[in-house]
Structure 1
Amino acid sequence: MQQNQSYTKIKCLFKGYAGKVYLIERRSENDPPNKKHTPLVLKRYYRKPSDPQDHTQLNEYKFLSTLHHPNIISFIDAFTEKFEYKKCLCLTMEYMAPLHELLHSINDKQLYIFKELCQALNYLHNQNILHRDIKPSNIFVTAEGQVKLGDFGISTQMRDFMTPQTCTKNYRAPELFFGLKEYDASIDIWSLGCTLVELFTGKILFDGRSEIEIMSQIAELLGSFNESNWEGVSSLPMYLEFVNEKQPKLPKVLSQLPKNIQPLVDHMLRMNPKERPNIKQVLEHLNEMDIQDCSTQLASIAQNAMSASNKIKFQQVI
């Protein structure tokens, strides 16, 4: 942190197992008393003994310091500090509105948001980077109406063997539940498909509380998990047969979406990862549509959301 600056807490936005996210202001010693400050966000990670000693080794820092794309968030400052007798790793970045808080305000803007998100994912996949946690709460809209993908805490460079215990379970691809370690970018495509449905319905597609419940919901949507529906599935390390004797619910879900994206969602949510499109194919489908620029309208929506969140302030130096 620069020595002539301090960060002042406004409110806690989120508390997770790894730390907290704060709405903050950055102040300088030379600021006049009545100066208006731009709100920022601080992500404070509680450092475990096994974690890196400094912020330059933090997974999210390593990605954000090398990724440069208009649809990917960038950090402003990074530092290590002591807090409540613990050593913490901190990142500060611009304050943006989380997409999951805007879902009921984005009518007719979903495809624009989705295309911007796909641009970010295309940039990552071109560099063999898996995001591994795509969901509306990790997508943001700036005060200028720009859509940005964030939270790279569990992202990884693609390699031969990776942990299947990744991605928020409601957006997790079925092959990960079955313990596949040699997966690829198709896991992000599955999460992307779940997110696209949620953009239009305003509801989480698979809202189960447990992994078993979510897998049962996937079977209800797509059909039984067996060799006839997914060749090779029974050989996966943690395979369990989920039987659905009723008609799959996918047609009913697709009927809630615009007709021009129903085939796309159908392909993105394929049980077998080999049958899902890659991100370039998704963008090709979107490029065939007449998707209007909605950044001006999104800017207004995001500003209203951020203004409402910023109403209650209290001063406490971090």
Structure 2
Amino acid sequence: MYIDDTADECSRMDMSSDDDDDFHYGYHHHAHPVASMKGKEFDDGRFVVNHIIGEGAFGVVYSAKDIGKRPHTRLREKSATEVAVKKFKKSKYQGSYTRADVDVATRREIDILKELSPHDNIIKYVHDFMQRNKMYLVMESMTCDLVSLIDDFWEDSKAPMPKHVAKHITYQCCSALVYIHSRDFVYRDLKPANVLIKFENASDNQAYAQLNKRALLDRGTTIVVAKVCDFGCARKLGPNTSKDDPSPSWPHPADVMTARIGTQWYVPPECLIGTPYPDPSYPGKLVYSPYGVGIDMWGLGCLMAECLNGEILFEAYSENDQLRKIQDLLGCLTVKQRDMYTRSPYTYQNLPAPSHRPTGVRGLFGYCLNTVEVSFLKSLLSIDPSHRPNAATALGDDVWADLFDDET
């Protein structure tokens, strides 16, 4: 894994998935009220804006029609394809965009999506272009994001989504991770806001906005399709780091990534226990908590838990509070993790201890999960990253058997 430079927009750890500055594709926001955006054209008239879907610190996403660059194309707008157009704002680290000197983080995100886009559970890349020194990324249109789906269940019925729907979404996200890791990438920011949802049947997508969501998904004919989006935090695995090892014990220095990554509520303990610091016993050597693809497996566990109970599993106001809540549920950090935390010169508070006997995954989810499901979720949320399964192992777990009972 390569060392992240200071211009990495994702090296700043987000404190909240709903913060105004936390950019995601914005499908759980309502359409922007600025009516003047409707009809705005991009890329020489190929894309015509319907409305703004969402806006954040690093960009704006528009719902638009792809009418193509054809003669008399206005006559064909009814058959145009619905797309999402993301406009990247200028980076605060660089000057104006040019095709030759585009912002590194922006170009990297687009290039990674282009490489990974063929998978069924990854958002489809459509096009990218420059306009007035701004970079634009065009993707397939989706119905909503997972945050919206989770919230809508609570609004409609004051209960979380059905377990089979939660498992089906988690399975698809795991499938995406298998492909991402097989291409030697680590995603590093898996959370409901970065998972987009649509329904297999067009009529279901229309019904979603009009009907009781629980009734729609409980009727048995609706198939939910989940796709991972927003690859701004993804990185290529270094040549010395195994894509199958959730916890590299001591990666090559060239493979070290920043610990401050992703969204705080969804990152594992190894990314919370401190910034790398000089080892006083070995001049020139850094002490740090290495992490690998295990960060994505922890995120998958947090996502599954949030789908099941409708609440963020580890919602906290600070990194220390986050560590306390993790230990309250799962038990103490490992000896190695505690040692690094207490020795770090950048740690200004004592390591938070659990406030009570750990609740445990079974204690929190035993009412809705069977033994196999509890064991699976517990493995994803292992405090020791070496105990988490890799994505391929997780995808082959018996926990998914009931999803395919009707196909056998």
Query: Fold-level match, TM-score > 0.5?
Result: yes
What's the TM-score bracket when you normalise by the shorter of the two chains?
Answer: 0.7 to 0.9
Secondary structure in 1 matching 2:322? helix
Q: For the Cα contact (< 8 Å) 2:171–2:400, is it kept in 1?
A: no
Match of 1:43 among 62, 86, 97: 86
Q: Structure 1 residue 140: deviation in Å?
A: 1.4
Structure ranking higher in strand proportion: 1
Distance 2:334 2:195 in 1: 34
Range 54-63 or range 105-114, more displaced: 54-63
> Structure 1 residue 11 and structure 2 residue 11: aligned?
no
RMSD over aligned CA atoms reads: 2.7
Query: Which residue pairs with 2:205 in the alignment?
Result: none
TM, length-normalised to structure 2: 0.64
Q: Select the structure of larger CA radius of gyration.
A: 2
| Distance change in 2, residues 1:212/1:59 (3 Å) | same
Query: Which residue pairs with 1:303 in the alignment?
Result: none
Q: For the Cα contact (< 8 Å) 2:167–2:400, is it kept in 1?
A: no
Match of 2:385 among 263, 273, 276: 273
Q: Structure 1 residue 170: deviation in Å?
A: 0.8
Q: How many residues align?
A: 287
Q: For the Cα contact (< 8 Å) 2:43–2:131, is it kept in 1?
A: no
Uncovered stretches (5+) of structure 1, i.e. residues with no partner: 295-318
Query: What amino acid is aligned across from residue 253 of structure 1 in structure 2?
Result: L
Query: Which residue pairs with 1:247 in the alignment?
Result: 357
Q: For the Cα contact (< 8 Å) 1:164–1:176, is it kept in 2?
A: yes
Uncovered stretches (5+) of structure 2, i.e. residues with no partner: 1-40, 154-160, 201-223, 239-254, 275-287
Q: For the Cα contact (< 8 Å) 1:190–1:268, is it kept in 2?
A: yes
> Structure 1 residue 198 and structure 2 residue 306: aligned?
yes
> Any residues of structure 2 matched to 1:47-58 within 5 Å, and which?
47-48=90-91, 49-50=93-94, 53-54=98-99, 58=107
TM, length-normalised to structure 1: 0.81
Greater RCO, CA 8 A, separation 6+: 1
> Any residues of structure 2 matched to 1:69-218 within 5 Å, and which?
69-82=119-132, 87-96=133-142, 97-103=144-150, 104-105=152-153, 106-107=161-162, 108-144=164-200, 145-159=224-238, 160-179=255-274, 180=288, 182-218=290-326
Once the two structures are aligned, what percentage of the paired residues are identical? 25
Q: For the Cα contact (< 8 Å) 1:77–1:93, is it kept in 2?
A: yes
Query: What amino acid is aligned across from residue 20 of structure 1 in structure 2?
Result: V
Q: Structure 1 residue 53: deviation in Å?
A: 3.8
Query: Which residue pairs with 2:403 in the alignment?
Result: 291
Q: Structure 1 residue 127: deviation in Å?
A: 2.2
Q: For the Cα contact (< 8 Å) 2:320–2:351, is it kept in 1?
A: no
Q: For the Cα contact (< 8 Å) 2:119–2:176, is it kept in 1?
A: yes
| Distance change in 2, residues 1:205/1:3 (3 Å) | closer
Query: Which residue pairs with 2:25 in the alignment?
Result: none
